[in-house]
Amino acid sequence: MEERGAAAARGGGRRTVTQMLVVGIIASALGIALGIAIDWFPEQGSTQADDIDTLWDVLVIASVPFFVLVSVVVLFAVRDFRVRPGEEHLDGPPIHGSTRLEVIWTTIPAVILVGLCTYAWIVLTDIEEAPAQGPERQVIVTGEQFTWTFEYREGGKTFKTSQLYVPQGESVQFKVRSKDVIHDFWVPDWRMKIDAVPGITTDFRVTPTLMGRHEIVCAELCGIGHAFMRQTATVVTPDDFRAWVAKQTAPKGSGAAAGGDGENQPAEVDGKTLFTEGNTAGATACGACHALSDAGTTATTGPDLDAVLKGKSVEEIKRDIVDPGAEVANGFAPGIMPSNYDELLSEQEVDGLATYLSEVTK
Ligand code: CUA
């Protein structure tokens, strides 16, 4: 009687294993197909991007079967070994474990993990190889709450901007630093990202291929303005890049400085547009962080300007813009507003913005 029961159980067990295998293989195939079919990333914008995307696909292919294996075992165990009515007080047979099984299920994942890590390491080392010839451009990237600054050394001259410009098809090494907390310098189109850590310099290399504007994102939660710590990387032709550098290094007052429109341009500044859209020199829109009823913005990262600017003079508002640490509104921590607006805005823009703000908050 007992032997027959055991034999039947063995037969049932074999059938269950077959079912699990069939379900597992089908689910893995579907999962892998789905994982490959999904368009996870934006358009490839650098020579590094393709290898990263391939690495991702390989990791998806390797991971899905294990996810399926664990899920299938859990689901079948729930089906076959669940407590049935009347069994609430029963305990299973005493089991001592199986050394052989434990060795197997430790060794196999360990070998696979080491293999995948080695592959990832090879890919990363490979795509960050220095270019075989020619000097390489370095850009020092400094993160701070809540903005990025880029320092260039071009033709013996050093300059800083809040706008990242790089030439198409030329390798750039970014040296990444932080002034305060940990940030993370990420350009999704390039697929490259690295932490900006106070006290050390990290780096990555990239050779941009796709022209135009690419989003720079801070990918490390760094404080209340983290979500707004976004700037733009513009990839231009090498000729346009040289022209841009010449403009940046031109002596101040020639009308070519950042934010300047050239001497012949009218100095008319639309304060409201500047407030809601920012400018091309990299000043982010004030309205991204501040509420102002005239501009229809409702953000609460910074103080409500209808309240805090009420009755302030144009001069006081100008100081608030270029030196936000001088007087910080109640309930807000100092240092939330970037202190580089005096670099990002021209004098006319500061004037125009302050005049607009004082008029609409009277
Ligand atoms: Cu800087 Cu998030």
153-168, pLDDT tens digit by residue?
988 888 998 889 999 9
Question: What per-residue confidence (pLDDT) applies to 280?
Answer: 67
Residue nearest to atom 1 of ligand 1 (CA): 183
Q: How many CB atoms lie within 10 A of CB 235?
A: 25
What number is the average pLDDT over the span 254-266? 44
Tell me the per-residue pLDDT of 220-248, one tens digit each, with 9 for 90 and over: 999 988 998 999 999 999 999 999 998 88
Instruction: Please report where in the chains the tokens 């089908």 appear, as a residue.
Output: 26
Residue 344 phi, psi (nearest 5): -85, -25
What number is the average pLDDT over the span 171-193? 95
- What is the band of 297 on the pLDDT scale with cuts at 50, 70, 90? confident
* Cβ atoms of residues 147 and 230 within 8 Å: no
Question: What per-residue confidence (pLDDT) applies to 8?
Answer: 53
Question: What per-residue confidence (pLDDT) applies to 10?
Answer: 60
> Closest ligand 1 atom to the C-alpha of 183?
1
Q: With the C-alpha atoms ordered 15, 21, 27, 30, is the resulting torsion angle positive or negative?
A: negative
What separation in angstroms does the CA of 255 have from each of 189, 222, 260, 348? 33, 36, 6, 12
Residue 279 phi, psi (nearest 5): -130, 175
* 218 Cβ inside 6 Å of ligand 1: yes
Report field, pTM of the whole predicted structure over 0.75: no
185 CA to middle of ligand 1, Å?
8
Residue 144 phi, psi (nearest 5): -150, 160
* DSSP tag of 38: S
- Lookup: tokens for 104: 């197997």
Q: Select from 215, 196, 193, 217 the least CA-distant residue to 206.
A: 193
Q: Could you tell me what percent of the chain has a pLDDT over 70?
A: 91
- Lookup: tokens for 100: 């052989």
* Cβ atoms of residues 31 and 69 within 8 Å: no
> Closest ligand 1 atom to the C-alpha of 196?
1
Tell me the per-residue pLDDT of 70-116, one tens digit each, with 9 for 90 and over: 999 999 999 988 888 888 888 878 888 889 999 999 999 999 999 99
- What is the band of 264 on the pLDDT scale with cuts at 50, 70, 90? very low
> Closest ligand 1 atom to the C-alpha of 146?
1
- What is the band of 1 on the pLDDT scale with cuts at 50, 70, 90? very low
* 141 Cβ inside 6 Å of ligand 1: no
Q: How far apart (Å, rounded) are the C-alpha atoms in residues 87 and 324?
A: 70
Q: Assign 246 to helix, strand or coil.
A: helix
> Closest ligand 1 atom to the C-alpha of 181?
1
184 CA to middle of ligand 1, Å?
6
Question: What per-residue confidence (pLDDT) applies to 259?
Answer: 45
> Closest ligand 1 atom to the C-alpha of 226?
2
- For residue 176, list its beta bridge partners: 141, 202
* 220 Cβ inside 6 Å of ligand 1: yes
218 CA to middle of ligand 1, Å?
4
What number is the average pLDDT over the span 1-6? 48
Q: How far apart (Å, rounded) are the C-alpha atoms in residues 239 and 245?
A: 10
* 216 Cβ inside 6 Å of ligand 1: no
Q: How far apart (Å, rounded) are the C-alpha atoms in residues 213 and 233?
A: 6
Preceding amide of 146 cis, omega within 30: yes
* 222 Cβ inside 6 Å of ligand 1: yes
* 226 Cβ inside 6 Å of ligand 1: yes
146 CA to middle of ligand 1, Å?
6
Question: What per-residue confidence (pLDDT) applies to 273?
Answer: 80
